[in-house]
Structure 1
Amino acid sequence: MTADSRSPALALLKQGTVIPAHPLALDASRRLDRRRQRALARYYIDAGAGGLAVGVHTTQFAIREAGLYEEVLSLATETAASWTDRRLAMVAGLAGPTKQAVAEAKTAVRLGYDAGLLSLAALKGSDHDALIEHCEAVAREIPLVGFYLQPAVGGLDLDARFWARFAAIDNVVAIKVAPFNRYRTIEVIRGVVEAGADRRVSLYTGNDDHIVLDLVTPFTVMREGKPVTVRFVGGLLGHWSVWTKGAVEIFERCRRAAASEAVSAELLALDSRVTDCNSAFFDVANNFHGCIAGCHEVLRRQGLLEGIWCLDPNEGLSPGQKEEIDRVLELHADLADDAFVAANLERWLG
C-alpha cells in the first residue's frame, strides 16, 4: 500500500489535524475493558479529533506481549466506523525488529489503518544504513509516519542526516517530532528541508512540552543559500488523550493565528499553561515514569476509565504526582472538558 493514490484520510493527515494517542482501558485484573476502550474512541471522535493513533506509546507497547495488539487496533476502527460518518485518519503504532514491524504493518492495513507510526526503539545501536533499510521495508507495506520518540522513554538520538534520508523515502507521509528538545526538533526540520521533502512530508508535533509554540511557530532553515519556512500542521500527542475537546479548540486557534501571522501574547502565554498541565500528567518530576498513569488518572476522574491500571504492575502514579495533578486541575480548570464529558459519558459507555 502506497500513498500515491491518496485517500481522503491521507489528505486530512497532510492538511493537518488533531490525533490523540489512544490509551488502553483495563479492568482491575489488568484485562482489556472493551466497553471503556470503545468509550474512549467515541469521546475522541465527538470531541472533534481528526484521527486516532492506536498501538502507540500511550496505548502501551506491551500490548504486543500481552497478545492484545490486533484486538485493540480492531476495536478502534470498528468503533470509528460505527460511530461517525467522518473519515478519520487512523494511525497504527508499529514497533519491534523488521519482521515484527512489517507484520504489524500488514495487520494494520488489513484492519483499515491509513498510516503507520514507526518506533525505532528496538533498533537502538543500529547505524543509519540499518535504520533506513528497516524503514524502507515497512514503508513498502503502509504509508509511514516517522517517530522521533524522546530518549527518556526509549527513543534514539537521530540527527539531520538520518531525517534527510528518512524523508526521502517515497511512502513517508509525515513525521511525529517528539524529542522534547528544541535542538533535536530543528534537526528533524533541517533533514526534511535538505531532502526537498518539505511539501510532501507533513510535520506533527509530539512535543507535549511545547504544543502551542510548535503549532504557531514558523521554522526557517536554509537550503542552497535560500530560506525555507515550514510549520507543524497538527499534533499526534499523548497529552491530547485528555481534555481533547479543549485540545481541538486550541488547535483551531493556533491554526487561525498561524494563517493570519497574528499570534497574540495571550496565545503565546497559553503554551506555558498547557505545558504546566503536561508536567503533572506526564510526571516530569520523576523523568516521565508516570506519564501513562497520569493521563489515566485524568480520564478516571472524568469517569472514562474505571482505574489507572497499566499492563505493567510497576507502572503507576509516582510519589507526589497525584498532588501535582490536583494542583493543575485547580489552576487550569478552564482548559478541561469535564462538562462535555459529563454530558456524554453515559452515551459513550452505552
Structure 2
Amino acid sequence: MHWNEIPPESLAVLRRGAVIPAHLLALDGQRRLDERRQRALTRYYLDAGAGGVAVGVHSTQFAIRDVGLYEPVLSLAMQTARDWEPLGGRRPLFMVAGLSGATGQAVREAELARRLGYHAGLLSLAAMKGSTEDQLVAHCEAVAGVLPLVGFYLQPAVGGIPLTAAFWRRFAAIDNVVAIKMAPFNRYRTLDVIRGVVAAGAGDRVTLYTGNDDHIVLDLLCPFTFVHEGRPVTVRIRGGLLGHWSVWTQRAVQLLERIHAAVDSGQAPAELLALDAQVTDCNAALFDVAHDFHGCIAGCHEVLRQQGLLQGIWCLDPAEGLSAGQSEELARVQRDYPHLVDDAFVAQHRARWLA
C-alpha cells in the first residue's frame, strides 16, 4: 500500500494536523482485555474530536504482543471507529497502527494493519538497538514496502535509541513515509529530525507530529527554519500523536484548534504561550517524571479510572503502577489547571460510551 492510496479526506486530516491519542489498554482485575471499556475509550476519543487513534503503540503497552492481544486490540479499535457515530456526525479519520520488532515481525504487523484498514504504521526502532544506520534504513524500507510509515523517535528512557540527523534525512527520503512523530523529549534531537526532513527536501510530504509530551504547545506554535540548497525553508509541527492526549482529550482538541487559529493569524497570545508550562506541569504528574517515567502509563490510567472510564489502573506488567506521591501530584495539577481537564464532558457522555 502506497500513501497515495490513502483516501484523500483521511490524508488531509493528517496533513492539516490532528489530535491523535496514543490509545490506552483497558484491562480487568485479572489483567485480561476488558472489551467493553476498551471500546468505550475509542468512542471517547472520537466524540472528543480526535482525528484518529494510534493503537498498539507504547501507551497501549508493547507487551500486548507477548500475550496475544495485538491483533484483537487493533481489530477492536478499527471496528469501533467504523461503527461509531461520533457527536456531530461522521468525519474522516487517520488511523495508525504501532509496529515494532525486528524486520520480520514489523513486516508481519504492517501486513496485519493493512488488512485491518489502518492508514499508516508508527514504526518503533527500539528492537533494532545496535544496528548500523544502513541496517536501520534497510529495515524501514522493508516495512515501508507494505504500509505507509510514520517515523517514531522514542525517548531512550523508555527504550528508544539515539538517531542522527543523517538517519532522519535518509528516512524522510523513503517515498512511503508520510509523517514523523518526534518523541525524544530532547530539543537537540527534535531539531535533528526536522533538519533531516528539510535536508531531504521532504517537508511537503512528511508531516511533523509532536510526541514530546513535555513540550507540546511550543512544539506546535514554533516555526522551524533551516537552510536547504542555499535557501531558508520553514516547516511546522502540525499535530500531536501523544500519550498525554489519551486523557483530557476534549481539552486537547480545543487546544489544538486554538493553536491552529493562532498560527493561521500569525499571532500567539500570551495566555496561549503560558499554557505550555501548564501542560508540561500536568505531564510531569501523568508521566511520573519524578521517578523516571515508571508510572507513565498508570498515571494516564488513574485519570480515566477517576472519570469512570476504566475500572482500575492495571497494566500487563504487575510491577507497573503509580509511584509514591504520583497520586498527590495528579490531584494537584487537576486542581490547579481545571481548564485542561475534561471531567464534565466525560461525565455527560460516559454512559453512552459504555453502553
- TM-score bin, normalised by smaller chain: over 0.9
Q: Which residue of 2 aligns with 1:205?
A: 210
2:10 equivalent to 1:5: no
Q: Which amino acid aligns with 1:235?
A: G
Q: Which amino acid aligns with 2:118?
A: Y
SS at match of 2:2: coil
Q: Which residue of 1 aligns with 2:276?
A: 271
SS at match of 2:4: coil
Q: Indicate which of 339, 348, 351 corresponds to 1:346.
A: 351
- The CA distance in 2 between the partners of 1:296 and 1:33, in whole Å, is 13
- The CA distance in 2 between the partners of 1:168 and 1:94, in whole Å, is 20
- Residue 6 of structure 1 deviates from its aligned partner by 3.6
2:147 equivalent to 1:142: yes
What is the TM-score normalised by the length of structure 1?
0.99
SS at match of 2:5: coil
2:74 equivalent to 1:73: yes
Q: Which residue of 1 aligns with 2:257?
A: 252
| 1:64-98 deviation line (CA, Å, top 9, x unaligned) | 00100000000001101110332211100000000
- The CA distance in 2 between the partners of 1:228 and 1:87, in whole Å, is 30
Q: Which residue of 2 aligns with 1:101?
A: 106
SS at match of 1:170: coil
Percent of aligned positions with the same letter in both sequences? 69
| 1:217-258 deviation line (CA, Å, top 9, x unaligned) | 001111122211100111000000000000000000011111
SS at match of 2:81: helix
| 1:115-152 deviation line (CA, Å, top 9, x unaligned) | 00000000011011000000000001001000000111
- The CA distance in 1 between the partners of 2:80 and 2:137, in whole Å, is 34
- The CA distance in 2 between the partners of 1:323 and 1:234, in whole Å, is 30
- The CA distance in 2 between the partners of 1:232 and 1:92, in whole Å, is 20
Q: Which residue of 2 aligns with 1:196?
A: 201
Q: Which residue of 2 aligns with 1:121?
A: 126
- The CA distance in 2 between the partners of 1:335 and 1:18, in whole Å, is 15
- The CA distance in 1 between the partners of 2:105 and 2:79, in whole Å, is 23
- The CA distance in 2 between the partners of 1:260 and 1:166, in whole Å, is 32
- The CA distance in 2 between the partners of 1:28 and 1:149, in whole Å, is 30
2:231 equivalent to 1:223: no
Unaligned stretches of 5+ residues in structure 2: none
Q: Which residue of 1 aligns with 2:324?
A: 319
The 4+ residue runs of structure 1 with deviation greater than 4 A are none
- The CA distance in 1 between the partners of 2:263 and 2:16, in whole Å, is 14
| 1:202-223 deviation line (CA, Å, top 9, x unaligned) | 0000000010001110011111
SS at match of 1:51: coil
2:95 equivalent to 1:90: yes
SS at match of 2:226: strand
Q: Which amino acid aligns with 2:141?
A: E
Q: Which residue of 1 aligns with 2:58?
A: 57
- The CA distance in 2 between the partners of 1:280 and 1:65, in whole Å, is 29
Q: Which amino acid aligns with 2:5?
A: S
SS at match of 1:317: coil
Q: What's the RMSD between the two structures over aligned residues? A: 0.7
SS at match of 1:4: helix
- The CA distance in 1 between the partners of 2:335 and 2:17, in whole Å, is 31
- Residue 4 of structure 1 deviates from its aligned partner by 2.4
Q: Report if the CA contact (8 A) 2:288-2:296 is conserved.
A: yes
Q: Which amino acid aligns with 1:5?
A: E
Number of equivalenced pairs: 350
Q: Indicate which of 100, 106, 110 corresponds to 2:115.
A: 110
